[in-house]
Structure 1
């Protein structure tokens, strides 16, 4: 028997439907996607018999490719699963975005997979057992090396997901579940290495240990490293960060998002008295952008890409005026026609007088004079549906104050984005702009006391009065730290996702006028 071996763990996470190296909004080539990551994976598989390849979640949703598949080709094999099967993945962990298209799509993906989907803490309500079957896998190699991989998922999913997409599921605490299963695996399986693949991130800075989240349990990776004995490697994701290192002698990885990196962990073992013992652990991030795309992978799903591109280029309507975005910060400080348009579509769809929405990211370019589906999906990037809820004036004021904390005044008096909305992960989607009410955000005031002149129909908003507001399902569930919306009475809802709703609005009205009514503004 050889005296020393190295196990290589390859991790992808938060690929979000990216196979081809392209930005679907512009069709420009980008250094990302599973096509490029595949070249790295195949290279290491050809060199080493001891390789584990794991996807850490959020893979089946996120691009027009996956959207088009779900809407128009869902009777065929899922293109993301075809690629993972081809690359001989050993396991995948269920991420929060796996449920965005509904449970049947997720279940279909799992049934088509030649590998198991892991999540020990997503439970069947009726039995209390892991809903997707196996919570962990054991892989034994010809050398006798025995590796265990446990999968867990952030239990915060009910705060974001449409309840109709997760009707039969319970989400147990990820930390407690991991702790229990790690103990079980150590005792029952006695592996040489125990890997936890967690679709979640870190609530504390990995280097300093300082808390970076104070009031949620969305991410628990730091606690897992410091409070659970028996974890050798913690694979993470969800936060879209690029991390490689060690916390409390636990090797950690987080390989960014969109397939820009492959996380690589090398675990070296020596054999002593017939047993493998870890003698060295190293982790690094491998940039996929430097690789040539793997042609086998691209050819495998080319038919899906071709039909997606044809669909994206279909003209569906026209803009009268200017609805393009030149400065995303300015578009959040002074009412922009794109934001007003989205709010108007939401109010029209559910027959509600008040609405809120966000400009999701800084790459949104707005809508040109001739609008295609490509323009719609590059500006409205999430498969959200709409929910109208009944809230109090107090809820409204608190929500507006939460949004108003997006801004800070810089050292030279300039307006800047509060780092809480950009570090460690950009969260521009958590700043909402409202229609149907009037208000000012005075950023000279301290956070929590910034909303002035709040009115509805020309009268001050009463704190104890009830108001009906339409918003996306993520926000209506309290997502983005809006607890004042959670568990409020639902008055209306729609199961048509917003990209389709915006497209339908153009198909009905043909031409949309770019306009604003100046019902809110940011002042200092």
Structure 2
């Protein structure tokens, strides 16, 4: 008997093969159409999604504003025939009511061994019996969610340690299963080899390696969360993680007679299938509505501010970055603004639509205002400045921001001040000037700084914000704040000059 296992993860609501600017080889419709054809080549199929499914695209943003009775993305996966779902951290972004609406109808398929207090029923694991061959699948989700998520979105919910949760069910899974699959919305915190050398700070955000080090009962780890795109064997355990937005997905084929296992990560760019018309019909009317919504013009600038080179923009500044700081400072009245330029950012043309905003800022971050000293601000700029290194006389990105996963989002720019950084100096001693209104910022004085909730909470990367007093929370998505700012001001004049200089 041949069993095929398909895994998706971090689809982030990307349905059509587009980012709503241009066509892209990605998305649920392309993957689902392939699976429905390909599964006919095998005796049985097991289809698993490992989380971050219903948030992250222009479509999911639009759905979050509507009073929907059934989430069409889940409906689509049900038509594809998914057997199991694991919750990701972004499933909580739109609140518990939205989460319940999305997953309640498929709650009997939600695998969840380490989250207590969900607004619907779930089970820790499922034993899938394929003609006597039994595969045990346990669902685990990163327990780091309280470090990012707004408290109101996870009220009365407990996130338990995935490693201890697996330990709780290990014997049951071993007794009932011929094979154990860990379906984990979390990644690997150590190198993908037998050495398992730490590749990030061991905060318990990602515990895939710890699971492998602690237990010898696991046969396959289907992971997610880190957006890394790999499939490999570590100590004879198949470990895989698809790329986000449905760019790649996992396929594993098990022959129960020969015991042979073949595995691959399939790139959507290589698929030839036409999109299944039944799957697409779920979204046809919704897509028409969405396009009208996205094309609604909300404001304009005095000239274009397109990001032709995002690396250069991060290094030298850009009017688009200035504008984002302008919005955050305006809504918060903080002294300083902190923000990351996302890889999806493309900038704005003169006339701006809702589509343009959501492409440039696709995440449902809210913002907080913290009270910190000038010294802590300097620490933050110093940390951010480690993003750049000089190699052979040329500025490059520090490998620590690229391996084991790309982390451009951990490079921040700072608004509301002017600052200079000397890249020829050692890490931690690169900031040579910080001024506000032409005067030096005093290291012992207190200031307010506005930044998104992710950066304010995830202090493992920027410990300078740890235990800082939160003086204000603005619980609107940053994308909504940008839309509101443009609608209010309508015509906006660009700030062209950069407020920071990197010397080298």
Q: Give the TM-score range, shorter chain.
A: over 0.9
For 2:49 and 2:177, the matched residues in 1 are separated by: 21
Structure 2 CA distance, aligned partners of 1:247 and 1:183? Answer: 22
Write out aligned runs for 1:73-152 (5 A): 73-113=66-106, 115-124=108-117, 133-141=122-130, 143-152=131-140
Mapping 1:161-180, distance limit 5 Å: 161-180=149-168
Distance 1:122 1:131 in 2: 11
Q: Counterparts of 2:466 and 2:121 in 1: how far apart (Å)?
A: 27
Deviations 1:280-329 (A, max 9, x none): 33211122331322221111111221111111111111111342211111
Q: 1:457 deviation in Å?
A: 4.5
TM-score, structure 1 as length reference: 0.91
DSSP-derived class of the 1:333 partner:
helix
Aligned with 2:197 (options 210, 221, 232): 210
Match status 1:196 vs 2:193: no
Q: Which residue of 2 aligns with 1:442?
A: 422
> 1: distance between equivalents of 2:200 and 2:226?
12
Determine the structure 2 residue equivalent to 1:287.
Answer: 267
Q: 2:124 and 2:107 mapped to 1: Cα distance?
A: 16
Paired residue for 2:317, among 311, 324, 335? 335
Alignment RMSD (CA, Å): 2.0
User: Do structure 1's residue 433 and structure 2's residue 421 form an aligned pair?
Assistant: no
Separation in structure 2 between the aligned mates of residue 523 and residue 279 of structure 1, nearest angstrom? 59
Contact 2:69 2:101 in 1 (8 A): no
Shift of 1:115: 4.8
Q: Quick one: structure 1 residues 327 and 154, their matched pair in 2 at CA, closer, same or farther if it must change by over 3 Å?
A: same
**Partner residue, 1:8:** 4
Which of 24, 35, 44 is the matching residue for 2:29? 35
CA contact (8 A) 1:120 1:134 kept: yes
1:402-440 Cα distance to aligned partner (Å, 9 max, x none): 1111111122x1111112212232221111111122321
CA contact (8 A) 1:477 1:487 kept: no
Partner of 1:225: 212
Contact (CA 8 Å) 1:387, 1:472: kept in 2 or not? yes
- Change in Cα spacing, 1:483 to 1:169, as seen in structure 2 (3 Å) is farther
Contact between 2:104 and 2:121, CA under 8 Å: does it hold in 1?
Answer: no
**What CA distance in whole angstroms lies between the structure 1 residues aligned with 2:255 and 2:377?**
56
Q: Match for 2:56 among 58, 62, 67?
A: 62
Are 1:409 and 2:405 matched, yes or no? no
Match of 1:383 in 2: 364
| Residues 163, 483 of structure 1: alpha-carbon distance in 2 compared, 3 angstrom cutoff | farther
Structure 1 equivalent of residue 499 of structure 2: 519
Q: CA deviation at 1:489?
A: 1.8
The reply on whether 1:509 has 2:489 as its aligned counterpart is: yes
Partner of residue 478, structure 1? 458
Could you tell me whether the CA contact under 8 Å between 1:476 and 1:485 is conserved in 2? yes
2:254 maps to 1:261: no
Contact 1:89–1:115 (CA<8 Å) still a contact in 2?
A: no
Contact kept, 8 Å, 2:4 with 2:39, in 1: the verdict is: no
Provide the residue aligned with 1:365 in structure 2: 346
Which stretch of the first structure deviates more once superposed, 463-472 or 77-86?
A: 463-472
Counterpart Cα distance in 1 of 2:467 and 2:82: 39
Question: Which of residues 379, 389, 398 in structure 2 aligns to 1:398?
Answer: 379
Q: For 1:61 and 1:23, how far apart are their aligned partners in 2?
A: 14
Question: SS where residue 113 of structure 1 aligns?
Answer: helix
Q: 2:39 is matched with which residue?
A: 45
Give, in angstroms, the shift of residue 9 of structure 1.
Answer: 1.2
TM-score (norm 2): 0.94
Q: Which of structure 1's runs of 4+ aligned residues deviate more than 4 A?
A: 129-132
- SS where residue 186 of structure 1 aligns? helix
Q: Which runs of 5+ in 1 are unaligned?
A: 271-277
